[in-house]
Amino acid sequence: MTSGERVAVVGTGLIGTSIAMAARAAGEEVRGFDADPDVLARAAERAGLRPGATLAEAVAEATLVFLCTPVPSIAGLAGEALAAAPDAVVTDVGSVKSQVLVEVEGTVQPGDRLRFVGGHPMGGSERSGPDWASPSVLDGIVWVLTPSPATGEAATARVSAWAEKVGARPVVMDPFRHDRLVAMVSHLPQVASTALMSLAATEEAGEPDILLLAAGGFRDLTRLAASSPHLWSDILLANREQIAEAIDLYAKRLSEIRDMVLAGSGRDVEQAFAEAKEARLTLAAKPTVRTGVSVFQVAVPDRPGALADLTACLGAAGVNIEDLQIVHSPEGGRGTVHLTVASAAADDAARALEGQGFEPVRLA
């Protein structure tokens, strides 16, 4: 089924190419442009998009344009795209919205502001580039739309309908509220991961065995440190006040836990961990799961098909997986999986896993 849109993607990295692939899967015509010809060529091969020699050529006949470039370049490209595609709605995928909308306001012709919709699909990876793209990057994610007062309702509805059609969940939000929330749940985790990895690398530089001791927890928490330095520098500087406040709050919470530990207050430490655990279990559940969830830890052999065996046995038992995380990298011949199911299905899940030789440990 197609929405009838003619899609253009400007910036063919991970998100841009994933959008192009999703559009192609919906039967839509897709063109693309990237300032790097090699990146564009790889995206064209992977996504089946038609490359344009210039931005104007790529967007000229489009009805829906996605700007998938670093935050500092979005406003200027929005002006170019809106001028070159007079029938198109233009949206962006930038991680910061307030600054983008202010810059668009000062760059774009007043009559064209009606057709610009701020956007942020909450998907991605620490990896970058078209080689890692997939339509699944968009599947089930929240796609935030932050229209300005000048944005037309019809333009917002067009982007919202397209996002929903490719499997995302569009949510309209005030741009300042968006920036405050993502500073806490998206930008701060990147900072924390980077700081922890930097701390271990510098403070223990004389300990060559430290990485030998780095088990799953450390690897999980530092995964984001492998992200693009240039990309994250742009994002953090564009949202500097909100991320600075989030860092201050995080540092305060760390100091509180440090003080509990130094004071030997086991009850307070346990309470802090219990509250965080309860909040994390709530986060693991989809909004449609209202009856609570159960989490199992399952050791998985390090062999091809082992994870498929685990998910297949639950599927055969009629148990839906609400969330799944590989929390340890394969070490010592096995990996560890945390999987979340609805509480009502916990007993069925345990029986199914045990029946296939797995040893599930119920954590909650």
Same domain flag for 142 and 31: yes
Residue 275 lies in a domain: no
3/228: higher pLDDT: 228
Identify the weakest region by mean pLDDT among 1-5, 68-72, 288-292, 343-347. 288-292
Residue 271 lies in a domain: no
Residue 279 lies in a domain: no
Q: What percent of the chain has pLDDT over 90?
A: 64
pLDDT, tens digit (0-9, with 9 covering 90-100), for 266-320: 999 999 999 998 887 776 555 555 457 788 888 888 778 888 888 999 999 999 8
Cβ neighbours of residue 152 closer than 8 Å, sequence gap 6 or more: 114, 115
Same domain flag for 27 and 85: yes
| Residue ranges making up the domain that contains 249 | 178-264
Same domain flag for 242 and 151: no
- The pLDDT assigned to 330 comes to 42
For the purposes of burial, counting CB atoms within 10 Å of the CB of 149, is it exposed (0-12), middle (13-18) or buried (19 or more)?
exposed
Same domain flag for 218 and 74: no
Residue 274 lies in a domain: no
Same domain flag for 43 and 99: yes
Same domain flag for 236 and 290: no
Give the count of domains, the chain. 3
- The pLDDT assigned to 220 comes to 77
Residues composing the chain: 364
pLDDT, tens digit (0-9, with 9 covering 90-100), for 166-218: 999 999 999 999 999 999 999 999 999 999 999 988 877 778 777 677 766 78
Residue 39 lies in a domain: yes
- Kindly indicate the confidence band of residue 97, based on its pLDDT and cuts at 50, 70 and 90: very high
This prediction's pTM: 0.77
Residue 277 lies in a domain: no
Residue 65 pLDDT > 90, yes or no? yes
- The pLDDT assigned to 294 comes to 83
Residue 69 lies in a domain: yes
The whole-number average pLDDT for the span 81-97 is 96
